[in-house]
């Protein structure tokens, strides 16, 4: 269950190029930590209105039998998902020059199939603009899995490769939100999922305490609190008391549209956990999405894990002398 060495991003491919062009784009995705997703042209709008989490869109200038079909579609897509960067593959040039003025604002960059290096630089600017230390990524996954297994002890747990999104979609019916603050970061962590009823364990380690029927919302807050506590002890230490008075930025939550905005286009680090009931294999798996957005402050070069000595653990009551 170790995190991958590289964080990936999912991109939607909307391109009607020939087989050779699509193969080049496919290989580019493989080489640059992108997971390419395709859909039929009739389904593009419904896919983007769903809760599919994405880091961006790769689109061709011509689409659906129209020389400007991709540009026309981008105008519609930008209205419903303005936070997603759209990269336009053009036939003659690698710039946005010559496009209608109202269309240029829909795209973050243009590229030509013969110069994919330019697209690589654009990805770095608009999707992979944040560097996430691998030690931090692995550590957050580990402490989250430990917290989840406190309540899902009779479940197997897997985690997909961590990935980056630029959207603001809420996945599921219930989510928790908690601030994360240190000298090297300020932002938020969310856990999101469908609110199902399951047979779950209590936090007690007593083997005679039987699991009971609970809704996920009954324990999601406790899991979030456990992850927050571990994050604070591993990566913040005694800094927390000096950070409580810092300014916060208002968030906009649109429950009807399953959308939450943090007031910026900051990339979000995401984890997708799948829990499978070992006692009831016929039960659908539980999927919990974890998102971290450091929209207020981000200085990864200052990141370091707090080193705790044995004496400190004794003083805190977590260890005792034998």
User: Which CATH number covers residue 254?
Assistant: 3.40.1550
Single out the residue in 126, 156, 181 at which a domain terminates: 126
By residue range, what is the domain housing residue 295?
134-315
- Domain presence at residue 321: no
Q: Are 210 and 194 in contact (CB under 8 A)?
A: no
Please tell me whether residues 28 and 122 are part of one structural domain: yes
pLDDT tier for residue 59 given thresholds of 50, 70 and 90: very high
**CATH classification at residue 37:** 3.40.50.2300
152/34 same-domain check: no
Do 288 and 167 share a structural domain? yes
Is the Cβ–Cβ distance between 50 and 43 less than 8 Å?
no
Domain count for the chain, please give it.
2
Residue 1 has pLDDT above 90, yes or no: no
Mean pLDDT of all residues in 284-297? 94
211 & 254 share domain: yes
Q: What is residue 12's predicted lDDT score, i.e. its pLDDT?
A: 94
Least confident interval from 141-155, 187-201, 233-247, 294-308 = 233-247
**108: confidence class by pLDDT, cuts 50, 70, 90:** very high
> Is residue 14 included in any domain, yes or no?
yes
Q: Is the pLDDT of residue 95 over 60?
A: yes
CA-based angle 60:121:170, to the nearest 5? 70
């Amino acid at each position: 269950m170790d995190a991958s060495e590289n964080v990936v991003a999912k991109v939607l491919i909307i391109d009607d190029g020939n087989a050779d062009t699509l193969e080049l784009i496919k290989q580019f995705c493989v080489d640059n930590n992108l997971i390419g997703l395709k859909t039929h042209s009739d389904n593009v709008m419904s896919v983007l209105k769903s809760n599919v989490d994405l880091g961006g869109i790769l689109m061709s200038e011509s689409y659906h039998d129209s020389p400007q079909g991709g540009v026309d579609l981008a105008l519609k897509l930008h209205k419903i998902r303005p936070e997603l960067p759209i990269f336009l593959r053009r036939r003659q040039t690698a710039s946005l020059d010559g496009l209608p003025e109202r269309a240029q604002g829909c795209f973050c960059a243009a590229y030509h199939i013969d110069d994919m290096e330019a697209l690589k630089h654009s990805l770095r600017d608009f999707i992979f603009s944040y560097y996430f230390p691998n030690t931090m990524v692995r550590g957050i996954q580990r402490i989250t899995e430990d917290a989840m297994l406190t309540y899902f002890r009779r479940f197997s747990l897997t985690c997909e490769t961590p990935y980056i999104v630029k959207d603001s979609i809420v996945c599921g019916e219930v989510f928790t939100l908690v601030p994360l603050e240190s000298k090297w970061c300020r932002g938020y962590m969310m856990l999101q999922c469908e609110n199902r009823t399951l047979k779950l364990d209590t936090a007690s380690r007593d083997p005679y305490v039987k699991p009971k029927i609970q809704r996920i919302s009954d324990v999601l807050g406790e899991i979030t609190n456990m992850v927050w506590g571990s994050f604070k002890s591993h990566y913040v230490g005694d800094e927390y008391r000096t950070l409580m008075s810092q300014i916060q930025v208002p968030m906009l939550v649109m429950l009807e549209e399953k959308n939450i905005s943090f007031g910026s286009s900051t990339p979000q680090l995401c984890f997708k956990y799948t829990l499978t009931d070992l006692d009831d294999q016929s039960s659908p798996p539980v999927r919990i999405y974890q998102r971290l957005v450091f929209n207020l402050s981000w200085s990864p070069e200052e990141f370091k894990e707090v080193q705790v000595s044995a004496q400190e653990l004794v003083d805190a009551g977590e260890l005792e002398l034998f």
